[in-house]
Amino acid sequence: MKFFIDTADVAEIKDMASTGLVDGVTTNPSLIAKSGRNIIDVIAEICDLVDGPVSAEVAATDFETMIAEGRRLAKIADNVTVKVPLTVDGLKTCKTLSDEGTGVNVTLCFSATQALLAAKAGATFISPFVGRLDDIGGVGMDLIADIVQIYGNYDFPTEVLVASVRGPQHVLEAAKIGADVATLPPAVIRAMYNHPLTDKGLQAFLDDWAATGQSILDSKGGAA
């Protein structure tokens, strides 16, 4: 499974990229607004930090303007993936940009039939929002399972990118189902590191080592 980081915070992306765990980045208008910076500058800087796909979302809702915005965003860097909403005009934009060789991430997917349409329109990624479905009493992971099955039935190349991830359990369930990508807020990635038994075991090792009075860096050793 590939891990994308879901943020427009360049400092966070730089820190996470240093771990070698980040395969790409997703942004959206809300994240860009939170950064307080110009979208072109932010996307360009992010694209310099990561080699994988960087999703940059159009802000328009009509086909003509979406196409113009998408083409402008695609010019920023070779690894830009244009993000469009799952609407009729969004799918038209997806088809046009895909035919031109631009990667497209179709976002705000909440049903398997929507995902089927996106795949037929040539989407590179489909972004089902599992957390938002859970919030209204649905089961987000049921949607992921349906999409994975449908895409497998017809060998669609569109990758299932699990979005609106709320915690490590979503990541685990998505990985077991076979989703291609999970896009994760930095806090979720950090939460995946943590386990109380890891902390307890490490502390025991440190206590035992301290009792020896040794230092690996200062030790001369007897090896030839």
- Identify which of 179, 140, 138 has the alpha carbon closest to the alpha carbon of residue 161: 179
Contact of 36 with 1, CB cutoff 8 Å: no
**Nearest-5° Cα angle at 11, 6 to 17:** 65
Quick one: tokens of 50?
């990561």
Query: Catalytic residue at 83?
Result: yes
Out of 2, 14, 34, 83, the active site residue is 83
Angstrom distances, CA of residue 192 to CA of 95, 166, 167, 170: 36, 12, 8, 11
Which residues are catalytic, by number? Answer: 83
